[in-house]
Structure 1
């Protein structure tokens, strides 16, 4: 008995452990929506005009923002409004820090977050930036020295303005007719006389370290000064030190420092560049200046420029981005950075911060019927969602969860952007991997400033004075529900596509290669990288972009390429590439040896950069490539495989890496992997409704549909297949839905998802409505009665034509309701957002195409009442102000401009339709 007791005592912990394991495995699966966290809610850039803020208005505005569903603010101090100079507060002064402290404390009490721009306006800079630490450029002055004759012209910096400071002479180089270089700096005296007269004719180049003179753009009081030299570690350290001292002694509790897109114009140099170049590239750039300046499409020009641009990248990445992030971490803060616009490797720059941030700029075309896109009100910019994937790829591959976006910049002309226009734009960002939306933006405007309040010069202006504001929470809730899922689990992308940045850096035109959003037609669209990535995505593959450095940091785990502890992919694709470093090819071969699968579209043609032993290095590269022995396009390398194929999709099928065929129907998607299954975000941006069986490359026991517009959920019937799961899906044009696939068959305890394919009966309630104006500008029009519902800008009332605000349509109707049926209210046209009450109960918000809402639980048999509160755009009331000469825009610096950056004037605008129009119907479904 004693020995048996001991045996049982020994077994008890083991049985207990496995018992807990079984309990954990059999724990009920939740069908709830993921928690709406602070970061799941959208945040906004918060323009502090003139820093003219006070505690009373800060408190009230934060409460207003919180009530509207915003999760946080990003403080961005800028220029101020005229006439309020007595309220201005200097940036980083004791008063300003007190306002920051109050803001963070108040925000925290509301459960909101705060980020701050580390400066005012943009880019980084200010009065603390000395001339030595200011943005720098290389100026090269040319002289011709004839054979046997001394140089008559003194080598002195040629100022373009008398006020321009003297530039520092760095070096003087002489080049013979074969461009062989001799440094002759020591022969130049203090008066600029060249005491050097070697036989022969020479081109003389004097290299000066000059300052760009760029000042901070849109600076706030206390923030005026030179732009920072981002390539200089000492300059960046001094800049960070200034803020460290300002914040010393108190933790102000904000989350992150933020850095805007790289708009440092003309900065292409720093004092250590030649030294750093020689250390990193192995030769003296000064000896190759004729090639750096040339735009001839020759091999040596392209190689020298590539080396120069790579060096600039190294300095930006190490001296600014990584250095800045390390410093922020020492202050217990995160960093949020927009890498686009810079001259560096976007993937590595994004990856070096805590929250990579991309930007949506301008308006995309979507063929959704009824979606307004007036050519007169949009920028001449075609956003490309692939551009957004540079930020999301960097986050995914390095295991960072948040990918933010500066969203809706110049989506349309001021005061003309609706929620229905914003929805497909933000969905497009979600599909590209964005999951942390920041609006651009909201302007702090005090209570005593009359309508329309203080406004930033660029749209989108969503402020508390905006006529859409009372309906803003509905849009914010849609984003919050979506991001709650998109921030859950991990990205589920099977492909890695190599971005050949050296091909970009080898562009013979120009000196710097600024990789901007607006120049994608030059550096992105013509490349095979772009064409193949776009093609693969259109075929239904999920992918991320990968850099040379990210490849170097990857390893193989169970045949998958693991880029971090939180991310892995099935295959690495190398699109047609002109330049690839030897080191990258070596690492790719090592990955293959350890079990990775690699596909080359073609052999990389060469190695990047200029090398004194070019032939030897090219030979090494070719020998490495030759070690891959292909048989019918396939090579077994160690435990892995390397393919040579121009038909990527065919090779992926051979590798049993399958595309999501749901895209064949016209749907777009993105996936997130979670512990018990997979989330699919599925969007119909096509022109037609989609009603068909779609296949998912995920084996599921149960599938739940989740509507981010309403938060409603329901189970969907499924059919298991050999490759995954089939589901019947119906989405009208403009609709989106989340599908949650559960690995096991589970009882979620929720109803089945309604089938809205075909109605069995329809009731038209378009007749006999009353209209009452409730709140808005410039004055409330008189109430109206309507035989048939129509927009309030179509009733022949000039005051209604000028009105921006909210108005309520109300009516009564008789209805026969059947148990177990679903009833969908549809409105042909909503200008621009509708809140709906049925029988006095709030039923929901309808602001996006298609304008519909399930009102089943609110209807009763017999007589019903309906009230629809509509909020329109600000455009009509702004037109009224301009037509009547009422001044409302009066700001320092840029004041207020239209979408083409010309003086803003709405007086000639046409009336924007407002209210409801067309049929209003209730359709019955089984």
Structure 2
């Protein structure tokens, strides 16, 4: 390798920590640290185990836990504790007391498993569905059949109710017959001498039970559309908790996965009250298979009503209840048949979810296709629904259920977790919850108790010794992302009515698992992608939020504590509410800038739609658009309105500046604080960035901050640009402020490197901890993974920590610093130089600065490498050693098939290739 190439690959960000300077890092609270979902299997917990695991989690850098009781392990039934029983509450109290002593927080699910429900959900409060029966009456035929429910599964239920009976003749004329059906189902109606079709709608029950319920938590799932059902459900918690919240920071509700729930007991009355007309004469358009304009309009009204019911009757009631306990609440809105933005905004901590594995361009990032589910890929724009709702309404924390099914079990390295976490941060989320950690009693052998769908953030994981590297990175990053408030400048309207107006199907759940159907094909999504890549920062906004918005201090603002925005974009759409257009014109009248990508074509819904369409058109015609180059623009009151199919051209016309740093491939998220801004910048490209990057805000001083090692220093700036050196896979925080701190040292930029010292001398390999047994120690003449030594069977089955040790005679120590660079690396390591811990190497590009630990002459280099759990699990399955022993689903692989690792290849473990010590010199 020539010196020019060595210089090229060796550019990095580095600064000596300056202890005398004022530390620019925000003070980290326990919410800045990662939290983890903590499964209590069978709630078979005890004080000793709780104490031990909380202490272990705290020592590893976790800030809190989220308790979710689920199904239990076989053979431990006598240790199960019923959910919310006195003993369970005693364990909860012990947990929160212990956590407080460790400065940790505790959240808990309002239910076991998911979705919420349980024994307190009686038949009346259970999830409800329409059951539709049709009857044909031929001309001159006497109708004698009784209109009674035929569904055998529903017959024993006491709450079944006939809600709507409507007959349609061949001319499509409707006769509502609901009040003409007697108690026994007799229809007191004489049809005219034409053919009739009768539609009968019964309010039945889905009969869905809680999935993966814990002891004491089994029962029906809840009717989220009923206010009484929600209140009745929460009374059980009132009884268990009394006047205390037991130290719970936030009560959590998991994603909406209630299947077939498309009705509620008083839906017909709620529909009329909210939509202005009786649904009964139009029921066939809702429940039938016709795909015409009327069906689309009726279905739009139906879906909007469902959205309002879940918002007001569940989400808002849940929030009010949590506040009555002096706690907060957390809710995953996705999966709901409602406007996700309004549902996320209705709670204290909106929570999104990532599921699956993203393909990044990062050099050397491991991604084995056989170990991932290629059908499920996290999408940054799906995550933005939660962050947008929080940013607009001023919620300081946005959480995420992170890394669900990131890879196959036992094959996830911390280096694979990092870019997924960074993508979550880039979406505006700032409060990560690992998915997750399972409570394991002390006497349970490796691999401990495990949850079937998680990445294993458990102390039994052989990578656990190095998790502090990942956790510290997340803590530093989140300390910045939880500071101040979001600094996005653009609002983009989500055209939910275009979704709701589809004449296909009936209810419409917006799930993370089917975004390719409802999100990806839209112009709205196309805009999100384009603008994000161009360097614009935006949040999505709903009709409800627009109705609450004001134009103040030259910006659009919905909440006093929320974000301030320069422009509102209405993307190309078909259906637009006349009341929303009126609200937008009021904003413009007061000074707001609004971009329309197209002229609204129609109003949603059925009620007086022709009249409302005329009103929409009349409002639109008030705008005095004039041709202005390739777009149309209008002054409207104090504001400006622009009509352009090219949104970026419209933004340029309005002088809304993009952040040009994205032209390099870098991605960012921006926060504002009193007197400045933070830029969190990530290099997910395959190339190295070594240049001045433009930023829209420089302030009077720019400080660079490295979230991997906490280093900081004053940056070089020139003409509104900042000099940045970022390798593939690295990230950086740019702090631009109006108040300079002259005590901070300059950032140390790499100017050149000398020829690397290749550590090709002999190494000693010993083993520290792990199993099933420690392989024998050996001297290596060539650096290589311990799994290469196939003659020692224990090397093929070992999961744990191996220690590579060598000595280095450093003849001279003249460089400003020395970088230890690894070639091939499985999977993470603690580096010790002369007995001092130099740090943890756990993420791409697998290098660490060690100059301050080296000395002239003899140096001892010790690298404690931890590998994956996979080889040990493979050994256990090959030898039929029992470890999967759970009720319910037991244990499955990434394709939800029975798990079996016996045919796995041995995963390479340890160090391979070259290790280089590279002398580096900083610019003066």
Q: How many angstroms does 1:413 deviate by?
A: 0.5
> Deviation per CA, 1:135-190, whole angstroms, max 9, x where unpaired?
00011100001122122432221124487536322232111223322122333334
Distance in 1, Cα, partners of 2:762 & 2:228: 73
Within the candidate set 126, 129, 139, 2:118 is matched to: 126
Aligned in 2, Cα 1:578/1:786: closer, same or farther, shift over 3 Å? same
Aligned in 2, Cα 1:820/1:750: closer, same or farther, shift over 3 Å? farther
The equivalent of 1:181 in structure 2 is 174
Distance in 1, Cα, partners of 2:812 & 2:712: 22
Within the candidate set 588, 593, 596, 1:592 is matched to: 588
Within the candidate set 827, 831, 840, 1:832 is matched to: 827
The equivalent of 2:786 in structure 1 is 792
The equivalent of 2:498 in structure 1 is 503
Matched-pair contact (CA < 8 Å) for 2:815–2:919: no
Q: How many angstroms does 1:29 deviate by?
A: 9.3
The equivalent of 2:576 in structure 1 is 580
Aligned-pair RMSD on alpha carbons?
1.4
Within the candidate set 194, 217, 222, 2:187 is matched to: 194
Within the candidate set 326, 332, 346, 1:332 is matched to: 326
- Within-5 A mapping of 1:280-319: 280-319=274-313
The equivalent of 1:23 in structure 2 is none
The equivalent of 1:21 in structure 2 is none
- The answer on 1:172 being equivalent to 2:158 is no
Within the candidate set 83, 94, 112, 2:104 is matched to: 112
Distance in 2, Cα, partners of 1:830 & 1:214: 47
Q: How many angstroms does 1:820 deviate by?
A: 6.1
Distance in 1, Cα, partners of 2:800 & 2:853: 27
Q: How many angstroms does 1:750 deviate by?
A: 3.2
Distance in 2, Cα, partners of 1:298 & 1:147: 27
What secondary structure does 1:504 align onto? helix
What secondary structure does 1:584 align onto? helix
What secondary structure does 1:866 align onto? strand
The equivalent of 2:7 in structure 1 is none
Which segment is superposed worse, 499-508 or 94-103?
499-508
Distance in 2, Cα, partners of 1:172 & 1:587: 39
Return the TM-score normalized by structure 2: 0.95
Matched-pair contact (CA < 8 Å) for 1:761–1:925: no
Distance in 1, Cα, partners of 2:254 & 2:889: 19
Matched-pair contact (CA < 8 Å) for 1:558–1:595: no
Matched-pair contact (CA < 8 Å) for 1:405–1:437: yes
Distance in 1, Cα, partners of 2:710 & 2:258: 44
Distance in 2, Cα, partners of 1:443 & 1:639: 58
- The answer on 1:570 being equivalent to 2:566 is yes
Distance in 2, Cα, partners of 1:252 & 1:744: 43
Distance in 2, Cα, partners of 1:321 & 1:770: 60
The equivalent of 2:12 in structure 1 is none
Distance in 2, Cα, partners of 1:162 & 1:626: 54
What secondary structure does 2:475 align onto? helix
- The answer on 1:83 being equivalent to 2:83 is no
Aligned in 2, Cα 1:831/1:29: closer, same or farther, shift over 3 Å? closer
- Within-5 A mapping of 1:811-822: 811-819=806-814, 821-822=816-817
What secondary structure does 1:425 align onto? helix
The equivalent of 1:903 in structure 2 is 898
Return the TM-score normalized by structure 1: 0.95
- The answer on 1:756 being equivalent to 2:755 is no
- Within-5 A mapping of 1:310-389: 310-379=304-373, 380-389=375-384
Q: How many angstroms does 1:462 deviate by?
A: 1.4
Within the candidate set 262, 267, 270, 1:273 is matched to: 267
- Within-5 A mapping of 1:606-685: 606-611=602-607, 613-632=608-627, 633-685=632-684
Q: How many angstroms does 1:461 deviate by?
A: 1.6
- Within-5 A mapping of 1:436-475: 436-475=431-470
The equivalent of 1:915 in structure 2 is 910
Structure ranking higher on relative contact order (CA contacts 8 Å, 6+ apart)? 2
Q: How many angstroms does 1:471 deviate by?
A: 1.2
- The answer on 1:54 being equivalent to 2:46 is yes
> Deviation per CA, 1:771-798, whole angstroms, max 9, x where unpaired?
1111001110001211121111112232
Aligned in 2, Cα 1:143/1:702: closer, same or farther, shift over 3 Å? same
Matched-pair contact (CA < 8 Å) for 2:413–2:868: yes
Distance in 2, Cα, partners of 1:460 & 1:204: 52
Matched-pair contact (CA < 8 Å) for 2:154–2:205: no
**What residue ranges of structure 2 are gaps of 5+ in the alignment?**
1-19
The equivalent of 2:5 in structure 1 is none
- Within-5 A mapping of 1:399-414: 399-414=394-409
What secondary structure does 1:545 align onto? strand
The equivalent of 1:17 in structure 2 is none
Within the candidate set 112, 132, 138, 1:140 is matched to: 132
What secondary structure does 1:126 align onto? coil
The equivalent of 1:696 in structure 2 is 695
Matched-pair contact (CA < 8 Å) for 1:839–1:866: yes
What secondary structure does 1:47 align onto? strand
Distance in 2, Cα, partners of 1:355 & 1:577: 30
What secondary structure does 2:582 align onto? helix
Q: How many angstroms does 1:284 deviate by?
A: 1.2
Matched-pair contact (CA < 8 Å) for 2:593–2:639: yes
Q: How many angstroms does 1:191 deviate by?
A: 3.3
Distance in 2, Cα, partners of 1:675 & 1:762: 45
- The answer on 1:203 being equivalent to 2:202 is no
The equivalent of 2:509 in structure 1 is 514
Which segment is superposed worse, 549-558 or 411-420?
549-558
Matched-pair contact (CA < 8 Å) for 1:560–1:569: yes
Distance in 1, Cα, partners of 2:700 & 2:760: 44
Distance in 2, Cα, partners of 1:786 & 1:603: 72
> Deviation per CA, 1:21-52, whole angstroms, max 9, x where unpaired?
xxxxxxx9943321121100000000000010
Distance in 2, Cα, partners of 1:846 & 1:42: 19
Distance in 2, Cα, partners of 1:470 & 1:925: 29
The equivalent of 1:887 in structure 2 is 882
Matched-pair contact (CA < 8 Å) for 2:815–2:920: no
Matched-pair contact (CA < 8 Å) for 1:755–1:925: no
Aligned in 2, Cα 1:816/1:433: closer, same or farther, shift over 3 Å? farther
Matched-pair contact (CA < 8 Å) for 1:115–1:254: yes
Aligned in 2, Cα 1:615/1:161: closer, same or farther, shift over 3 Å? closer
- Within-5 A mapping of 1:688-767: 688-719=687-718, 721=719, 725-747=720-742, 749-756=743-750, 758-767=752-761
- Within-5 A mapping of 1:193-272: 193-199=186-192, 200-272=194-266
Distance in 2, Cα, partners of 1:746 & 1:97: 50
Aligned in 2, Cα 1:129/1:913: closer, same or farther, shift over 3 Å? same
Distance in 2, Cα, partners of 1:126 & 1:760: 66
Which segment is superposed worse, 161-170 or 433-442?
161-170
Q: How many angstroms does 1:757 deviate by?
A: 6.0
What secondary structure does 2:423 align onto? helix
Matched-pair contact (CA < 8 Å) for 1:370–1:849: yes
Which segment is superposed worse, 117-126 or 551-560?
551-560
> Deviation per CA, 1:184-216, whole angstroms, max 9, x where unpaired?
233333432323222122111111110100000
The equivalent of 2:861 in structure 1 is 866
Distance in 2, Cα, partners of 1:120 & 1:844: 40
Q: How many angstroms does 1:745 deviate by?
A: 4.2
Q: How many angstroms does 1:817 deviate by?
A: 4.5
Q: How many angstroms does 1:219 deviate by?
A: 0.4
Matched-pair contact (CA < 8 Å) for 2:245–2:327: no
**What residue ranges of structure 1 are gaps of 5+ in the alignment?**
1-27
Which segment is superposed worse, 622-631 or 561-570?
561-570
Aligned in 2, Cα 1:863/1:458: closer, same or farther, shift over 3 Å? same
Aligned in 2, Cα 1:108/1:523: closer, same or farther, shift over 3 Å? same
Distance in 2, Cα, partners of 1:498 & 1:766: 59
Within the candidate set 542, 545, 549, 2:540 is matched to: 545
Distance in 1, Cα, partners of 2:250 & 2:154: 42
What secondary structure does 1:371 align onto? coil
Distance in 2, Cα, partners of 1:710 & 1:745: 23
